[in-house]
Amino acid sequence: MERTLVLVKPDGVQRGLIGEVTSRLERRGLRLAAAKFIQVSNELAETHYAIHKGKPFYAGLIQYITSAPVMAMVWEGPSAVAAVRQTMGATRPTEAAPGSLRHDFALEIGRNLTHASDTVENGEKEVALWFQPGELVDWKRETDRWIFEK
Ligand code: IDP
Ligand code: MG
């Protein structure tokens, strides 16, 4: 089953949108596999965003993600990576599809509410970076067979 890392970033937490994000992923049919509410260290922020090191927005991005707690979650399901990215919307909120979270709740790229893994490979890496294996819950949901074809 495909897994993806989702973060409700500090702006989403401060604005009381943890429930909104979680609710949209639940109602889409994705299955929660892990969750924790944490203050992100500089070290974790820098490892997570290593790919953006050297870009003009990098320092601000590290400041942003460490400025208040985040809600970190692992969601799973068929095509979970693509499905979650679609529910979040494009990185720049003014380009996000109407109905997506970033369209409905954000205006600026530097305050775009959420993180979601962008590829299956990065999903696996990010889940391993943010969660210990024992923190992932392996479970069957009563509704799985009505949402997952196989
Ligand atoms: P993603 O979060 O949609 O995967 P990425 O391109 O991986 O987008 O960028 C990571 C995060 O860095 C974005 O979500 C956003 O918060 C921030 N970011 C990206 N580009 C800019 C920018 O041009 N200015 C400010 N922040 C940016
Ligand atoms: Mg990204």
**7, 12, 18: which is closest to 45 by C-alpha?**
7
pLDDT digits (tens, 9 = 90+) for 59-116: 999 999 999 999 999 999 999 999 999 999 999 999 999 999 999 999 999 999 999 9
Measure the CA–CA gap between 65 and 139, rounded to whole angstroms.
Answer: 30
**pTM across the whole model:** 0.98
pLDDT digits (tens, 9 = 90+) for 25-42: 999 999 999 999 999 999
CA of 30 to the centre of ligand 1 (A): 24
Measure the CA–CA gap between 82 and 86, rounded to whole angstroms.
Answer: 6
Q: Whose CA is nearest to atom 3 of ligand 1?
A: 91
CA of 48 to the centre of ligand 2 (A): 9
> In terms of C-beta density within 10 A (0-12 exposed, 13-18 middle, 19 or more buried), how is residue 20 classed?
middle
**DSSP summary character for residue 41:** P
Domains of the chain: 2-137 (3.30.70.141)
